Amino acid sequence: MAKQPRTLSGKVVAITGGARGIGRATAAALVRRGARVAVGDVDLAAAEQTAQELGFGVVALALDVTDRDSFGAFLAQTEAQLGPLDVLVNNAGIMLLGSFAEESETATERQLAINLAGVITGSKLALARFLPRRTGHLVNVASTAGKAGIPGGATYSATKFAVVGLTEAIRAELRGSGVETSVVMPVPVRTELAAGLQKGRGIDLVEPEDVADAIVDALEFPRHDVFVPRSIGRVTKIGALLPRSVSDAVSRAMRTDRILAGADATARAEYERRATAREPAAAGESPAASEPAVTSGP
């Protein structure tokens, strides 16, 4: 007998970096399943537009994931307006590329603050709500760069490795608690974050909707490891078994070592300028704390 999906109808879901990209696509997919969704974003105007476009059951709330008080207020307002939190999708993140030896302190600090510290903060605040009720689902969006360090994005890879390890450890600690976890690991996603990236051989970009569908599937049929596409999970597992010299040769043959290192800096300039901005007003369309137009990947 086929396993029946868990219903998402009426579930309360909070999404960080929800105004655009993967966050918006995930909100749309959840609304179609009948969920009630809080879209959190540092660009409140963009979040409000997304909420208006997605319609009934969606609320827009201000959120800076680097500020614990802001994150706490986001979840509190979500529950005040929609009801007890069932799912948190820690989706906000940025990717700043270049040689690690030449990376600015600002680029390092921003990626650590948003991609890692923001996920840690959100996870703690969500678990404080889930554990007393013995129910809830924590979804942390990482990347395939959290399984294999990618040259040209060393700090980005480090933050995503950390999110994968963090979520794995949380999963073990929560065993028997009734609270579930998922870590989402997409290849590069066709959003602004992927602007100017090189293509690997046999590796194409996926759409935000592909990641959103994978997240929804992991909520309906709970599983921890969520690769997008699923096939990349098999590739990752096989690669981990290969000797270093062989895996390096495969990386060069597939040009995965050039995906980030060979990125077009001109094509990425505007995105990276806004992603490193510290104040919302200086960041223009969508500042870094909620990741402009995109979310995690590759």
Any domain includes 30: yes
Residue 113, domain member (yes or no): yes
**Total tally of structural domains belonging to the chain:** 1
The pLDDT of 113-124, averaged and rounded, is: 98
Q: Tell me, yes or no, whether 45 lies in a domain.
A: yes
The whole domain housing 230 covers 12-290
118-143 burial code (b ≥16 CB/10 A, e <16): bbbbbbebbbebbeeeeebbbbbbbb
Query: 297 lies in a domain?
Result: no
Q: Other CB atoms closer than 10 Å to residue 97's CB: what's the count?
A: 24
Q: Is residue 295 part of a domain?
A: no
Flag whether 1 is in a domain.
Answer: no
Q: Does 141 reside within a domain?
A: yes
Which of 71, 74, 130, 156 is the catalytic position?
156
Please check whether residue 3 lies inside any domain of the structure.
no
- Using pLDDT thresholds of 50, 70 and 90, give the confidence band for residue 295: very low
Model confidence at 84: pLDDT above 90: yes
CATH number at residue 266: 3.40.50.720
The two three-digit tokens of residue 8, written as one number:
């998402």
- Based on the residue annotation, tell me whether 271 is a catalytic residue of this protein: no
132 preceded by cis ω (within 30°)?
no
Q: Tens of pLDDT along 266-287?
A: 889 888 888 887 654 333 233 3
Q: What is the pLDDT of residues 27-42, one digit of tens each?
A: 999 999 999 999 999 9
- At 213, the pLDDT band (50, 70, 90 cuts) reads very high
